[in-house]
Structure 1
Amino acid sequence: MSDYDLFVIGAGSGGVRASRIAASHGAKVGIAEEYRVGGTCVIRGCVPKKLLVYGAHFAEDLQDCVKFGWDIEGKSFDWAKLRDNVAAEVDRLEGLYRQTLGNNDVEIFECRARLAGGGKVELSDGRTITADKILIAVGAEPFIPEIEGCKDHAITSNDVFHLPELPKRIAIAGGGYIANEFAGIFNEFGSKVTIINRSDQILRGYDEQMRDRLLQISMTKGIDFRFNAKFKKVEKQGDGSLLLTMDGCDDMEVDQLLFATGRVPNTQDLGLDKARVETEDRGAIKVDEYNRTTAEDVYAVGDVTDRIQLTPVAIREGHAFADTQFGGMDRTIDYDNVPNAVFSHPPIAGVGLTESEARNKLGGQIKTFTSDFRAMKNVLAGRNERSLYKLVVDASNDRVVGIHMIGPEAPEILQAAAIAVKAGLTKSDFDETVALHPTMAEELVLMR
């Protein structure tokens, strides 16, 4: 008899969901977590970052409110207060995740776990656990390249939430969503922000018009960009500042260097070789549509696999795994039309095919409809920032195959609009829907 029907390595979003659902189906479940329950999203990712985004929005709201009749004197920003309040909220959420596991009789092991082969898991406290099925859900970690001085002096997104003070000058390496989100946050808090990108574009993979609009707005807000630039060396100077020796742009001095150059699966020292679990070139665990690895009775979900690195995707994978293995169901995940967002300033949101993807996939038989406008709030506030919405339509059948947006509350609007794309609705269906006025979202049904 094994100690557990299921043993999960990693108590992030996917691991916790799989544990809870498996236990609800009657399985005896154990879970190992070496740091904190909740994983990247709750502890050091999307949740605390979104709280910083909310905090950053007040910078512009306090400027704009004057035109709406408000007179606010003596406004100031206290980084330590926001940082500590966010940390307290993270503590609260971790407690809820622990409570969820406890309520479902999932036993938590607060230590590191490694595969030992043959249905065994070795814990860092010296114990060995046996399980009928093992699920790997350890997520991913920030990537820092091998550049002189970087690992000694640079920080990652994990460290932002613990900064003792707000940097006056910060350089952010990378051009993806993490880089642009933190660029917007620090810029609104008053830091001088420079994005350093080794390519000539930001947000590769997003719709071109959306990323061009974000670049334009970001530059207007005062964020500097250095394209086709690479790091040669990072040195700490006597006054505590950092000297960045560059290739492709001028050297610079900053107070903080943040690397946001992607995330890699957290598979180091996990015992994969011993259990004969195969990985891809970048370390991601190979799985099939049922989350099975190349080892018998070993499975994997979430960012540790080479699929879509999004928390809701990991949750769905964990749920489908538990239903299939312990609930007598046959469940797989549909990875088409997964909505995504960049919580930049302003935010971007999208679902389905971008315009270029649609042209490649549909042989050019597409139509696009756009609305380029200023939100009513921005008009009265005197803010010239413009929003942009786009519908990508398959001309052969009138189906809306993509929606892309940049503007205030774009992610909130896109979540509902994504249902239409998933359901295969047509442009005519959009046109026949009565507009909800006055809203920004009404632009989705007014494009002609």
Structure 2
Amino acid sequence: MSEYEYDLFVIGAGSGGVRASRVAAAHGAKVAVAEEYRVGGTCVIRGCVPKKLLVYGSHFAEDLEDAQNYGWTIGRMSFDWPKLRDHVLRDVDRLNGLYTQTLENNGVERFLERATVTGPNSVKLASGREISAKYILIAVGCWPAMPDVPGIEHAVSSNEMFHLEELPRRLVVIGGGYIAMEFAGIFNALGSQVTLCNRSEALLRGYDRALVDRLVQISMARGIDIKLNAPFERIEKDEDGTLQVHAGRGDPIPADAVLVATGRKPNTAGLGLESAGVELGRNGAIAVDDHGKTSCDSIYAVGDVTDRVQLTPVAIREGQAFADTLFGDKPTKVDYDCIPSAVFSHPPLAGVGLTEGDARNKLGKIRVYSSDFRPMKNIFADRAERGLYKMVVDDTTGRVVGLHMIGPEAPEILQAAAIAVKAGLTKADFDATVALHPSMAEELVLMR
């Protein structure tokens, strides 16, 4: 008999934890997972999936308006926030059930309570039970970091945005990352008066500057008030319930709701990692090697808690690689090169590979091709919005090292194009491909 109750004990049943659990179990390991809230993690429960559903819902505002120019007669239009909210939350319930079923079908035992580490091979459940395991995997993700400013108790994080009682007439968004930009676009389209405040001039760090500038222009034209160099100082609540947001110079900004989206922090506080000598790095992230192993040989970590690349597909890849390496006799490392990403803003932007700035710094001699066009979808719209696609090419080899685009359906188009960048195809390969006409995607093979 094994000296341990389980071969693997996973703390956290998000995307990375669930993948690692079921694959390890499929390899024959005896696996248990502890989750203190709901199975599915940030992405499924309070992140990208419900947020994307809100994006879809918000797009009907412009689609219904544009429909009239396509000959449709639209009657009186109104929007019911609780109806959309509740539909989204019901789908979260559905996905929670599917993820739970996945664990059950693979024979993974579940403990729906908090677990903490008590040693290199032991964990303790909130109920008091102590459990031993040969290996422990930490997959607890990140949590919104709320700044310590007066009145912060009146603000909400992205977690609570899916549960608002009513659509705020005035929304102030604090932050300049993808979460801030996405929620600003959603609620602006749904009819809220949105003000976005960022402490610096830089929005969406890591994305191509030309695309970000285009998004800012379009967002402001759509009515979002963007205030840069406006550090968040405090919130005051008036007697009538109005929130007065102080950010930078000028008068306070009145709001009915304040979303703080200034970053996320690895969820390691109070996890007991010090009892096993697990080293933490920047911002409380767990330091790991190429196989996800921590400074303790029996404890591993995957996903956002390691603060490497905070994307759900990356956490899934890491969970798969961990399980294959330890239990499948198939040592695997995750390749972090050329990971595509997107911002589901209005309109969305997406990118893969090096931005123009990064390519110049890394390669020196490059060529940049671009297409600045009005998407056919917008021809009958009353919005003078233009799409922008950029291709960054290594001038020495001709290899396409970066693709970046903003416009309708940009993320859907980029997913396929990212395969070409990952495969190392050249500009000549793109040029040799016949265009699919009429489409926005054809711009990728028509740049000269």
- Partner SS for 2:411: helix
- Partner SS for 2:325: helix
- Partner SS for 1:447: coil
Q: How many angstroms does 1:170 deviate by?
A: 0.6
Name the residue aligned to 2:341: 340
Alignment of 1:131-146 (within 5 A): 131-146=133-148
- Partner SS for 2:296: coil
Name the residue aligned to 1:406: 406
- Partner SS for 1:438: coil
Q: Which amino acid aligns with 1:247?
A: G
CA distance in 1, matches of 2:289, 2:247: 42
Name the residue aligned to 2:419: 419
**Contact 1:14–1:311 (CA<8 Å) still a contact in 2?**
yes
- Partner SS for 1:148: coil
CA distance in 2, matches of 1:246, 1:435: 48
**Contact 2:158–2:259 (CA<8 Å) still a contact in 1?**
yes
Cα root mean square deviation, aligned: 0.7
| Structure 1: 5+ residue stretches without partners | none
Q: 270-279 vs 244-253, which deviates more?
A: 244-253
Alignment of 1:162-311 (within 5 A): 162-311=163-312
Name the residue aligned to 1:120: 122
Q: Which amino acid aligns with 1:353?
A: L
CA distance in 2, matches of 1:62, 1:182: 20
**Contact 1:226–1:249 (CA<8 Å) still a contact in 2?**
no
**Contact 2:120–2:296 (CA<8 Å) still a contact in 1?**
no
CA distance in 1, matches of 2:276, 2:34: 17
**Contact 1:229–1:249 (CA<8 Å) still a contact in 2?**
no
Q: Which amino acid aligns with 2:100?
A: R
**Contact 2:230–2:248 (CA<8 Å) still a contact in 1?**
yes
**Contact 1:348–1:404 (CA<8 Å) still a contact in 2?**
yes
| Structure 2: 5+ residue stretches without partners | none
Q: Which amino acid aligns with 2:108?
A: V
Question: Which runs of 4 or more aligned residues in structure 1 lie more than 4 Å from their structure 2 counterparts after TM superposition?
Answer: none
**Contact 2:174–2:258 (CA<8 Å) still a contact in 1?**
yes
**Contact 1:6–1:132 (CA<8 Å) still a contact in 2?**
yes
Name the residue aligned to 1:13: 15
Q: How many angstroms does 1:243 deviate by?
A: 1.2
**Contact 2:120–2:298 (CA<8 Å) still a contact in 1?**
no
Q: Which amino acid aligns with 2:136?
A: I
- Select which of 4, 21, 24 maps to 1:22: 24
Alignment of 1:71-86 (within 5 A): 71-86=73-88
Q: Which amino acid aligns with 2:436?
A: L
Name the residue aligned to 1:93: 95
Q: Which amino acid aligns with 1:86?
A: V
Q: How many angstroms does 1:420 deviate by?
A: 0.3
CA distance in 2, matches of 1:187, 1:247: 22
**Contact 2:200–2:231 (CA<8 Å) still a contact in 1?**
no
CA distance in 2, matches of 1:336, 1:355: 16
CA distance in 2, matches of 1:379, 1:58: 17
Alpha-carbon displacement from aligned partner over 1:343-389 (angstroms, at most 9, x marks no partner): 000000000000000000002x0000000001112112343110000
- Partner SS for 1:133: strand
Name the residue aligned to 1:447: 447
CA distance in 1, matches of 2:315, 2:115: 20
Alpha-carbon displacement from aligned partner over 1:235-289 (angstroms, at most 9, x marks no partner): 1111111112333343111111100111110001000111110011310000000
Q: Which amino acid aligns with 2:114?
A: R
TM-score normalised per structure 2: 0.99
Name the residue aligned to 2:71: 69
Q: Which amino acid aligns with 1:2?
A: Y
CA distance in 2, matches of 1:249, 1:318: 48
CA distance in 2, matches of 1:436, 1:325: 45
**Contact 2:120–2:299 (CA<8 Å) still a contact in 1?**
no
Name the residue aligned to 2:110: 108
Q: Which amino acid aligns with 1:170?
A: L
CA distance in 1, matches of 2:440, 2:183: 25
CA distance in 2, matches of 1:118, 1:171: 45
CA distance in 1, matches of 2:114, 2:27: 26
Name the residue aligned to 1:3: 5
CA distance in 1, matches of 2:120, 2:306: 21
Q: How many angstroms does 1:201 deviate by?
A: 2.2
- Partner SS for 1:156: coil
**Contact 2:373–2:386 (CA<8 Å) still a contact in 1?**
yes
The total of aligned residue pairs comes to 446
Q: How many angstroms does 1:330 deviate by?
A: 1.1
- Partner SS for 2:380: helix
CA distance in 2, matches of 1:131, 1:246: 49
- Partner SS for 1:268: coil
**Contact 1:10–1:136 (CA<8 Å) still a contact in 2?**
yes
CA distance in 1, matches of 2:112, 2:215: 42
Q: Which amino acid aligns with 1:101?
A: L
- Partner SS for 1:341: strand
Q: How many angstroms does 1:205 deviate by?
A: 1.4
Q: Which amino acid aligns with 2:211?
A: M
